[in-house]
A and B are shown apart, each in its own frame.
Chain A
Amino acid sequence: MAIDNFKEKFDALVAKEPSKWLEKAEWRAANRSWLKTSQAIAIRVNRILREKQISQKALAEMLNVSPQQVSKIVGGRANLTLETISKLEHALQATIISVPRQVTHAKYHAEISVNTVLDKIRAMEKIKKNFSEWSAAYVQPEEKKPVYKLAA
């Protein structure tokens, strides 16, 4: 059986302040890109804390930060600086993030070019040396022609 004036009665129960969900949802969506990295770091930090049996409180003391700040880090909501990441790695004695090193295209070609030039120089020096040895063995030096001068 339907209640008479249901919506009217229901609305009377509703608090004046709306939910903060939408505001938070908009923030999460707008900051999703860096939050993904923060969450990945948090997964790694939580794994290390569990394996090494370190409490959040102890981590806060190690980092000399508030428990609220540690809560944000392990929750994946902290926009971490490189300095904080470095402190985390030092405190946990573990690598938290690593940056892949890559031989750049230009550097690769520069190395190839240098090596190629050096190889060519070495090859030319070898040819030059071989030619000198060969010529010394088989080529007769030209005879010196006498120089005639009129007598005074």
Chain B
Amino acid sequence: MKIISIFEINKDTLYAVQFDDFELDEFELAFDQWSDVAYLEEFFENHKKDLQSDFYGEINVDDAIEDTIAEAEQLEDRMRMIASGKDQGMSLTEIFKPLDNQDYKQGSHQKSKATGDWHKSWLRVYAIKVGNVYVVCGSAIKLRPDMSDREHLQLQLRKLEMTKNYLIEMGVLDGEDFEYLEF
């Protein structure tokens, strides 16, 4: 595993991990996948039951692809604005929220997620926050309220744990901090 710098502005800094055997870092991968029609078509076909559940209502695969691309564009535009430093009023603190929906208090060390702007957004970027530094560990299209009952969402939780353990191993994090903020 290695850590890749995404951009750095003022006090907020965004990084992403690149896992072994992967060609792209997790942040780059997220936006590549969310603009890839073939990837999205296969994903929504494989998760059609979740897509057309009561949680999101009736939506067909083709509409879901279009919505995802449009939503990802909005999120990406927002991140570009922050990266360019053009929008001084916007910061990563406003984009990333605590992973646990019940926990709205942002501590110094916690697992965080960024979501698209749309209501009931299903786009997720997962990160570990250390001080003012965000380390992106993964991403997902989350069609279920719970992360624990779908393999692709469990994988994201494992990526968070792996990154946390890596940072502890490298002497950057104190394990106790994570125990304190574990969700």
Contacts and interface: CB of A to CB of B under 8 A. Distances in A.
Contacts, number: 113
B5 A10 contact: no
B80 A22 contact: yes
Interface string B23-61: 011011001100111110100010000000000000000
A43 B62 contact: yes
B146 interface: no
Contacts of B65: 39, 43
Interface string A4-23: 00110110011101111110
Nearest to B176: A1
Interface stretch (B94-102, B151-159, B165-173): B165-173
Contact of B38 (A7, A10, A35, A75): A75
Interface in B85-127: 108
Interface residues of B, number: 43
B28 A15 contact: no
Which among B2, B35, B174 has the highest number of chain A CB atoms within 10 Å?
B35
Contacts of A74: 37-38
A56 B2 CA distance: 33
Contacts of A122: none
Given A2-B177, A14-B15, 19 more contacts: A3-B171, A6-B131, A6-B172, A13-B3, A15-B2, A15-B4, A18-B5, A21-B6, A21-B16, A21-B27, A28-B31, A28-B76, A29-B77, A42-B38, A43-B65, A75-B36, A75-B39, A76-B38, A77-B35
25 contacts: A1-B177, A7-B131, A7-B133, A19-B6, A19-B25, A22-B7, A24-B28, A24-B31, A28-B35, A29-B73, A29-B77, A39-B35, A39-B69, A43-B37, A43-B65, A46-B37, A47-B41, A50-B41, A56-B38, A71-B38, A74-B38, A75-B39, A76-B36, A77-B35, A77-B36
Interface of B: 2-7, 15-16, 18, 24-25, 27-28, 31-32, 35-39, 41, 45, 62, 65-66, 69, 73, 76-77, 79-80, 83, 108, 130-131, 133, 170-174, 176-177
Interface of A: 1-3, 6-7, 9-10, 13-15, 17-22, 24-26, 28-29, 32, 35, 39, 42-43, 46-47, 50, 56, 71, 74-77
